[in-house]
Chain A
Amino acid sequence: MRTELSWTELLRGAADLRALLAFRASGLSERSRRRLRIAGLAVLLVTIAVIVVPGYLRDPLHNRRLGNFVAISPTVYLGFVVLAVLAAISSGGGREVVPREQAVAFPVSSVTEHLGALLLAPLNIAWLLQAWTLLGLSSYVAGPHHPELAATTVLVWIAFATALGQLVGWVFEGIRRGPYGIWLARGISGACGLGLGTLVVTDRLTDVLDHSPTTDVFIVMLHGASARIAPWLTGTAILLGLMVLTVVAGLVPARWALNRPQREELRLESGIRAARPNPASDLLAMVRLDRASVWRSVPLRRGLFVLGLLPGGVALAGDLTWDLVTVLPGLVASGGALLFGVNAWCLDGRGALWRDSLPASPRVAFAAKTLVLLEVLLVPALITLVLAALRAGTPNAAELASVLAATLVVCVQVTTTSLTWSVRRPFAAELRSARATPAPPVVMVGYSARLAMTTTLVGLLFSATALAGNALPAVLLAVPLLLWSGYRLAGTAAAWATPATRARVVAVVAT
């Protein structure tokens, strides 16, 4: 047996992971640690709330939509696996505990990488929201009795789905890193998309979902809620065993994938880029460089591709109505900002010092970053709306105004917030590897939670305006929100124009 696949190495990998996490934690200030504790407590409280509260809402709500929720539950369980798989694939197998360029001098094994990626998987806005949805839905369906048993099954399912997603993610990454891997990966993605599209068009999606194996998991959860201990215990124990097996099995494709060359990254770094005509304005010159920095980065390209198709695919498959579609642009914008926007100057990397030494107004450089970030958020959001529109039907004036206003407001809002964070708290990040993130994982959790909260709130407000009789409420809601974002953006631009602030940002990202 290879040393790397032995139990000894598994234990050593876990110990190395603890060391890497301690290394990461050592860089946190006391304030950051306090914030982290508060955020962790908040996540715990929300999790407990979604496990307990919905069950007690059934009676006051007179079992409203209970039948629908029972019917869709297995699909939502399956949806979590799909999310876990897509998240792992889009992040090149999973996130890094320590960035590649910093970890290069240390003997970090694929076991540590695999366990680290599993540990970081929940630090993701989509993962948290889906997990809470799953727990809340199960709680409502199961009722107020024995929520601890029902929730245990759901939590084990969430862990299993995450491990399965990770396993598939490594396999996909291994394929992608092989000869012709990029084309194979595109072929597999295309075939999956085509298959889903065929099911939707032929109206067979519901039939397929009705036969989902997750129905058995759902039934085990219901056994727990009804205190039928024997079948619940058997089912949950089997699920737990599968979860452990999947975690261990993931070590094999992780090692395989991580030992293969990063062909796509190497291709992007060594390919020839045809020269374009000289730019016609300072702003265009800056925008062009920033756009190149986005589209030539593997993690950003892949993340934007997923953001452009995944939420729209969910809307398509879920047959969402327009009043629910208003929430999707916020999710897309938050996801887009988390790719690089929350640390926008990291696009310049070590060139930040040189770029700031060029004779241009700092406001032009700021405007370029703003425009590029805004377009990167708007384009996937609009693609999502187009995909959603395929099944949502023709919107009335209120729905159309609400959806468009929600999209514009959340994109501007997220751009403003991201650039404010970028100026206030920059990080050095190369964004070369598909597994890279623009800020340390714990910081990303805070960012994703705050973005999720504000954009979901805005989405829900526009959900309400979509139910109105005309477009006026949506417009009246959008105008002050846009003005407020514009005011904050102007403040951040003024901060960036201050030489001392700019010097601090540039010095950090160029390190």
Chain B
Amino acid sequence: MRGLWVRFGSVEAVRGIDLSAYGGRATALLGRNGAGKSTTMRVLAGVIPPTEGDVLVDGVDVRSDPLTVKRAVGYCPDVGGLVPRATPWEHLQLSARLRRMTGWELRAQDLLERFDLGAAAHRVTGGFSHGMGRRLAVVLASFHEPAVLLLDEPFDGVDPLGVEATQRVIDEAKQRGAAVLVSTHLRDLAMDACEDALVLRGGSAVAALDADELAGEAGARAYRALLD
């Protein structure tokens, strides 16, 4: 991603961000509310077109070929991410159909069990708690084993078992060579899962660091300093 700008009318949500994420590694996008993290993720998912800049996802230009980009990506949105009156299984069926997946049922069942959603596989998601919804959004993003995994606030309101399951999904994606981006407010969890970090402020990138530099007490102070 080179020089990404996203404008909504007079509002500049993203102001010239550069970002490189590599296969087999996880990159954390950190920053306060309104820093531009979710907008950046949406551009990478092919949901929002960039206003300016070059964005290549798995080598494909997101502006000229968003459909191919969507095939390569697994995206967990920051808000909801679930059709309220459809069941988890129906979400998985739609995703599998559109990605031409066969024999996906066992993996889907396994993922649902790992995220403690097996018993809710055939209930409509409108009745889910916030944490259940977040866990299912991670399942939907990862179940087709995408080359690029985009997780926007995957730990938000999720219980410890769900956090562990999400960390495992991230590790598995890295092991198979996928590039992972995690946007979160929870620095500690991000540092556990990621090798690289990009700190955003006011729509711009203010620092690109190794995750180690943001770990622990010293990392917390460094991160706090970058936010002001």
Contact = CB atoms under 8 A, between A and B. Distances in A.
Contacts of A499: 48-49, 66
B180 to A, nearest CB: 16
A71 interface: no
B214 to A, nearest CB: 28
Contact of A289 (B76, B79, B90): B90
Interface string B57-95: 000000000111011010111011111111101110111
A1 interface: no
A270 B127 contact: yes
A356 interface: yes
A348 B83 contact: yes
Nearest to B104: A278
Interface string A242-273: 00000000000000000000000010111111
A273 B124 contact: yes
B42 interface: yes
B195 to A, nearest CB: 25
Interface in B26-50: 42, 45-49
Contact of A275 (B76, B83, B89, B125): B89
Contacts of B140: 354
A288 B90 contact: yes
A275 B75 CA distance: 24
A349 interface: yes
A65 interface: no
B67 A359 contact: yes
A68 interface: no
Contacts of A356: 47
B225 interface: no
A510 B80 contact: yes
A11 interface: no
A269 to B, nearest CB: 3
A369 to B, nearest CB: 13
Contact of B82 (A268, A285, A354): A354
Contacts of A292: 85-86, 90
A351 B80 contact: yes
Contact of A349 (B47, B84, B122, B123): B84
A269 B127 contact: yes
A500 B49 contact: yes
Interface residues of B, number: 42
B96 interface: yes
Nearest to A500: B49
Contacts of A507: 48
Interface in B91-144: 91, 93-99, 122-127, 137, 140
Contact of A273 (B79, B97, B122): B122
Tell me which of A268, A271, A359 has the highest count of chain B C-beta atoms within 10 A of its own C-beta: A359
B112 to A, nearest CB: 12
Contacts of B68: 359
A511 interface: yes
Contact of B98 (A270, A273, A296, A360): A360
Contacts of B98: 282, 285, 358-360
Interface string A283-309: 001101100110011000000000000
Nearest to A268: B124
B122 A350 contact: no
Contacts of A503: 42, 47-49
Contact of B83 (A272, A293, A506): A293
B87 A266 contact: no
A360 B71 CA distance: 9
A297 B126 CA distance: 10
Contact of B97 (A279, A348, A357): A279
Given A272-B122, A279-B97, A359-B99, A351 B49 contact: no
Nearest to B121: A275
A432 B77 contact: no
A273 B121 CA distance: 9
Interface in A457-505: 499-500, 503
B79 to A, nearest CB: 6
A269 B67 contact: no
Contact of B67 (A288, A296, A350, A361): A361
A289 B86 contact: yes
A355 interface: yes
A169 B126 CA distance: 26
A348 B47 CA distance: 15
B77 A273 contact: no
A353 interface: yes
A361 to B, nearest CB: 7
A497 B120 CA distance: 34
B85 A270 contact: no
A263 B94 CA distance: 29
A458 B19 CA distance: 56
A286 B71 CA distance: 17
Contacts of A279: 93-94, 97
A359 B84 contact: no
A357 B84 contact: no
A358 B70 contact: yes
A356 B87 CA distance: 18
Contacts of A296: 85, 124
Nearest to A271: B123
Contacts of A285: 93-94, 97-98
A430 interface: yes
A238 interface: no
A353 B86 contact: no
A431 to B, nearest CB: 8
Nearest to A296: B85
Given A273-B90, A278-B93, A279-B97, 18 more contacts: A266-B127, A269-B123, A282-B98, A289-B83, A292-B86, A293-B85, A351-B81, A351-B91, A353-B47, A353-B77, A354-B77, A357-B46, A360-B67, A360-B98, A432-B126, A503-B49, A507-B48, A511-B79
Interface of B: 42, 45-49, 66-68, 70-71, 73, 75-77, 79-87, 89-91, 93-99, 122-127, 137, 140
17 contacts: A269-B126, A275-B90, A279-B93, A281-B97, A285-B98, A289-B86, A289-B94, A292-B90, A296-B85, A296-B124, A350-B81, A351-B83, A353-B80, A354-B76, A503-B49, A510-B77, A510-B80
Interface of A: 266, 268-276, 278-279, 281-282, 285-286, 288-289, 292-293, 296-297, 347-351, 353-361, 430, 432, 499-500, 503, 506-507, 510-511
